[in-house]
Structure 1
Amino acid sequence: MSTHHTHRDLHSEQGARPGDHPGRAANPVIKVEDLAWLELEKPDLDRAEAFAHAFGFATAARSADELHLRGAFAGAPSVIIRRGARSRYAGAAFRAADDADVLRLADATGARVGRLPESIGGIVVDLEAPDGAGVRVVSGMDELPALATQAAHTFNAGGDVRRANATQRPPRAPAVIERLGHVVLQSNRYLESLDWYLQHLGLIVSDFQYFEGQRDRGPTMSFIRCDRGSQPADHHTLAMALGPRNRYVHSAYQVADLDALAAGGEHLREKGYFRSWGIGRHIQGSQIFDYWRDPDGFLVEHFTDGDMFDNTLEPGWAPMTASGLAQWGPPVSKDFLGVKPGRESLLELRSMVTALRSDDNEFDLPRLRGLLKVATS
């Protein structure tokens, strides 16, 4: 397999140095093909469904205690929400290539293979990452048929006239979600959990980030994609960052184009929902983004035009900074960084004290200093 070793003009300022983490396992158990869905718990399914429709999801199934939300592309639901006493992230499901891979993973881990509910179909093996995150690997699901999508716009650019005698009038309506793109998690056992995902699911790292001045201690964040061989995959399906507690950070959902994203954002704003940060374009992944808080506090992202990499690209390395989150757009918000005064920032502060007092995690005093620098760098 030939590989690209340079990152100039690609996706990161610098490549690996001798001794750096390789960003992939030499002989993984299986190689998952994609992120299938996320599982959440929320106390009010009616409220959750109302936001979901404004955000651009369609309802695939609904009962008194469970809500399945889907994008327009054919496949499985994107999000499964179950009624619970409090709002929480329950885990992610990854799609295996076939049933044989699910059986192989179960055999390697000693886990039991089960059947998914009839409403979804297929089989599942339930695992747990070292940091406690729930991980399901699934295959053989019934495929939901495709729904209508938003057509991408035709643009006049420079002297290239592709639209004549016609206007652009994107509707101020929900941006139609096409598919689930990625989930971002924080882990206080980051390196151990990263290696677990690479070894068990065959994921590979697109970009590493590290705290400034701490490159020699290794990475503190990774953007991780599926290894589909020569078929390009999203720059990241899973992203993980070191932090004082294990938690969901955000999840991202693809829409047709910038107009769908921007007009959909206007619809959300008019409905009274809170924009956390956007509109802008990321550096790692290159996505045009727009972040929103749902009524239960979950951070969710509309994105379009993300990078796609095959398995020949080696990991990039860059310092982890707030200013390095976007190529253009408004300054990153305190809400997005998690430092806005409130319940979540208070939980994070308390967890810093707890993590520093414990020796069963990777978060120590130098890492705390590095993390605190990120918000102002």
Structure 2
Amino acid sequence: MTPDPRAPDPPASAHHGLHCEDGARQGEHPGRARNPLVKVRDLAWLRFEKPDLDRAETFARDFGFTVSERTVDELRLRGTFAGTDAIVIRKGSVSRFVGPVFQAEDRRDLDTLVRQRGARLRPLGRGRAGSMVDLVDPSGVPVGVVHGADTHTSLPGQRALTINAGAVPRRINAAQRPPREPALVQRLGHVVLETPRFRAALDWYLETLGLIVSDFLFLPGQRQFGPTMAFLRCDRGSTPADHHTLAMHLGPGQGYVHSAYQVTDLDAVAAGGEYLGERGYRRSWGIGRHIQGSQIFDYWRDPDRLVVEHFADGDLFDAGVETGWAPMSASGLAQWGPPVTREFLGTAPTPAKLREVYSALRADDTELTAARLLALMKAMSP
């Protein structure tokens, strides 16, 4: 049947051409809390423990961090942008992620969290400005909220290359030679967590910290059961924020998946990756460009096998952008780039992974069932 050329165009989706083809349907999760306790402004820093701070410092410098302070028991790392430290590593018996620390918009927000969540308010530590509230999310991850912490002034950054693109050249009589050097980290971007209590953890971050969902992912053919991954950003009203400051997905693990750090541009990502490769570090996946968030990405493993990401050119959304919905799949993780690796996805059936799965399926408060686990494995099979 030939379409009638006089017929009106079908109504365009509110998400068409924006960041996702589909928005929430009636009765689905709204992606934000109606009346959150507070609205955090950003991530402040991430907390880790590692047994070998010398080795951690060597990798940090090769990855592009600047060391802001080093003692026998602590390593503090920053980016070139003005702000707080990006990472705080304390000496510990094993390498592990401790938890994220978020920035409160106002000092009174800490009092609200103490009053409403029974949290403890404490000074940051001897010789350091600021106060912090210690919380624990439903997955058992320690979460800090800080206000008044010391900040650094900006440092000289990596120069963005002048690009000849299109009909208006900008670089004349000059060759392009990006230096082979670390990709200087500008700032902490986001952290990704895995949890078998996905819905409980999701609602906790929305209701407690005021984060809002940029995009939900759901298992193909199972949208009626709700999302299995969420990309959450800070609600700054009309001021744009990163597409996601925190991402989380359903799975048998509890805690850290990877963390991401902004660098200048694609050439910084690529040249910095060459620099890391020459020093014997392992790429986990990349280089490519994501779909949710649009970042150019490159993932590496540190000497303790934790995954860290260089990224550039990510999406920025204000609070007016509604939540998108899309099916979850391995191929849907990137617009272009090499196929996602099993090493990055962490799907190899190691004894530790099998124990993790067994424990998650048997837990009383788990949201992970055998059927959902099988569907997750199928969707994320590269």
TM-score by length of 1: 0.96
CA RMSD in angstroms, aligned pairs only: 1.3
Shift of 1:323: 0.1
State yes or no: 1:351 paired with 2:326: no
Q: Which residue of 1 aligns with 2:231?
A: 223
Match of 1:205 among 213, 220, 223: 213
Q: Which residue of 1 aligns with 2:332?
A: 324
Q: Which residue of 1 aligns with 2:24?
A: 16
More displaced, 230-239 or 104-113?
104-113
**What is the aligned-residue identity percentage?**
60
More displaced, 152-161 or 279-288?
152-161
Match of 2:59 among 51, 66, 89: 51
Q: State the AA in 2 paired with 1:136.
A: G
Q: State the AA in 2 paired with 1:356.
A: L
Alignment of 1:297-336 (within 5 A): 297-336=305-344
Per-residue displacement from partner, 1:323-347 (whole Å, max 9, x unpaired)? 0000000010111110246xxx432
Q: Which residue of 1 aligns with 2:274?
A: 266
State yes or no: 1:375 paired with 2:380: yes
Distance 1:120 1:237, change over 3 A: farther
State yes or no: 1:156 paired with 2:161: no
Unaligned runs of at least 5 residues, structure 2: 1-11
TM-score by length of 2: 0.95
Shift of 1:142: 1.6
Distance 1:210 1:119, change over 3 A: farther
Distance in 1 (CA, whole Å) between partners of 2:166 and 2:246 is 37
- 2:13–2:22 contact (8 Å) kept in structure 1: no
Q: State the AA in 1 paired with 2:34.
A: A
Q: Which residue of 2 aligns with 1:123?
A: 131
Provide the secondary structure at the position in 2 that maps to 1:348. Answer: helix
Distance in 2 (CA, whole Å) between partners of 1:293 and 1:119 is 33
Match of 2:75 among 52, 56, 67: 67
Per-residue displacement from partner, 1:173-213 (whole Å, max 9, x unpaired)? 00000000000000111100110000010000000001112
Distance in 1 (CA, whole Å) between partners of 2:169 and 2:376 is 48
- 2:196–2:366 contact (8 Å) kept in structure 1: yes
- 1:5–1:313 contact (8 Å) kept in structure 2: no
Question: Radius of gyration: which is bigger?
Answer: 2
Distance in 2 (CA, whole Å) between partners of 1:80 and 1:241 is 24
Alignment of 1:19-30 (within 5 A): 19-30=27-38
Distance 1:202 1:330, change over 3 A: same
Per-residue displacement from partner, 1:248-297 (whole Å, max 9, x unpaired)? 00000000001111000000000000000000000000000000000001
Distance in 1 (CA, whole Å) between partners of 2:242 and 2:351 is 33
Distance in 2 (CA, whole Å) between partners of 1:285 and 1:347 is 31
Q: Which residue of 1 aligns with 2:184?
A: 176
Distance in 1 (CA, whole Å) between partners of 2:352 and 2:15 is 37
Shift of 1:9: 1.6
- 1:125–1:136 contact (8 Å) kept in structure 2: yes
Match of 1:76 among 84, 100, 122: 84
Provide the secondary structure at the position in 2 that maps to 1:59. Answer: strand
Distance in 1 (CA, whole Å) between partners of 2:257 and 2:172 is 44
Shift of 1:118: 4.1
Distance in 2 (CA, whole Å) between partners of 1:315 and 1:155 is 34
State yes or no: 1:89 paired with 2:97: yes
Shift of 1:11: 1.5
Q: Which runs of 4+ in 1 moved over 6 A?
A: none
Per-residue displacement from partner, 1:215-256 (whole Å, max 9, x unpaired)? 101000000000000000000000000011202000000000
Distance 1:325 1:366, change over 3 A: same
Q: State the AA in 2 paired with 1:278.
A: G
Provide the secondary structure at the position in 2 that maps to 1:147. Answer: coil
Provide the secondary structure at the position in 1 that maps to 2:289. Answer: strand
Distance in 1 (CA, whole Å) between partners of 2:351 and 2:174 is 52
Per-residue displacement from partner, 1:63-109 (whole Å, max 9, x unpaired)? 11110011011111100001111111100000001211111221111
Shift of 1:119: 4.9
Q: State the AA in 1 paired with 2:175.
A: T
Distance in 2 (CA, whole Å) between partners of 1:251 and 1:48 is 15
Provide the secondary structure at the position in 2 that maps to 1:352. Answer: helix
More displaced, 33-42 or 146-155?
146-155
More displaced, 107-116 or 35-44?
107-116
Q: Which residue of 2 aligns with 1:235?
A: 243
Q: State the AA in 2 paired with 1:122.
A: G
Q: State the AA in 1 paired with 2:89.
A: I
- 1:33–1:226 contact (8 Å) kept in structure 2: yes
Q: Which residue of 1 aligns with 2:47?
A: 39
Distance in 2 (CA, whole Å) between partners of 1:78 and 1:346 is 33
Unaligned runs of at least 5 residues, structure 1: none
Distance in 2 (CA, whole Å) between partners of 1:78 and 1:223 is 20
Provide the secondary structure at the position in 1 that maps to 2:129. Answer: coil
- 1:202–1:226 contact (8 Å) kept in structure 2: yes
- 2:188–2:260 contact (8 Å) kept in structure 1: yes
Q: Which residue of 1 aligns with 2:4?
A: none
State yes or no: 1:110 paired with 2:118: yes
Shift of 1:376: 2.4
Shift of 1:214: 1.2
- 2:258–2:308 contact (8 Å) kept in structure 1: yes
- 1:76–1:120 contact (8 Å) kept in structure 2: no
Distance in 2 (CA, whole Å) between partners of 1:114 and 1:5 is 48
